[in-house]
Amino acid sequence: MANNEFMGPTLPHIRIPDTLDDVRLTGSPQAAYYISDFISQEEEQVILEKIASAPKPRWKQLSHRRLQTWPSDLVNNKLMDAPLPTWLSDPIISRLKSIRLSQEPDSPDIFSDSPHQKPNHVLINEYPPGIGIMPHKDGAAYHPVVCTVSLGASLCLNIYKSKDNGALDPNPAWRILQEPRSLLITTSSLYTDFLHGIEDITEDIELSNSTIANWKLLRSPEEFANGCNVRKTRTSLTYRDVMKVSKLGGKLGFLQKK
């Protein structure tokens, strides 16, 4: 089903499916979903402004890009028990929880089986043109559901698999084009068995129905009819449920003894 064949429940400029089955990627393992208009342009702008106005210590500067971690970094694969700020939880988490997995009666949402039944951690990455991230797995600290909201610009996420000898196949098994205001959900074996990365390039090329796993779900495939996407700065919000959480009170008690 193409994404423009359904409309969202109430808000303008968003298109939310009744179930995730409606937006399943058929060109990849049956464990990924793509919603092109998950948030509105107004919501996107508000979130970008909140990110830009965050206190300077919130930013972690890497060699070529920077990131923020909310509510905190993980320590020994554990998260300090603290709420996410409202601008990261509303409307994104409530909207995520509103989508059922299937048309089955009493069908759950994508986080129903996670330890806290909703995301409790958000990683904000800023990708300037020409900057990506090497192929990697997210690791065992998280429940195997990753929800990524893209802001500002489009780029391709590459999904890689390992060869029989354990070495990484340098050619992507699938490519997923993430548009601004879109939501990509990856789960189960796509999370545990495959790697994902973003190439260090200024232009995504060879974009077409035959090369992009979510082509039929794109908001505006005509924008990429020439097969190219010139990159601009793209910001991603990665929502996950950290399985182990440490209570803040114990940590404060320890600090008070210092």
**Separation of alpha carbons 81 and 218, rounded Å:** 37
Provide the pLDDT for residue 160.
93
**Separation of alpha carbons 257 and 58, rounded Å:** 26
Provide the pLDDT for residue 248.
67
Provide the pLDDT for residue 255.
43
Provide the pLDDT for residue 8.
43
Provide the pLDDT for residue 3.
43
* Matching residue, tokens 């940590």: 251
Number of domains in the chain: 1
Domain containing 252 equals 3-257
Amino acid present at 151: L
Per-10-residue mean pLDDT, the chain, length 258: 43 86 84 96 97 95 94 95 96 96 93 97 97 91 96 97 84 96 92 91 97 96 97 98 83 42
Provide the pLDDT for residue 29.
66
Provide the pLDDT for residue 166.
79
pTM of the model: 0.90
Provide the pLDDT for residue 190.
84
**Separation of alpha carbons 75 and 13, rounded Å:** 39
What CATH number is associated with residue 126? 2.60.120.590
Closest alpha carbon to 159 in 139, 175, 178: 175
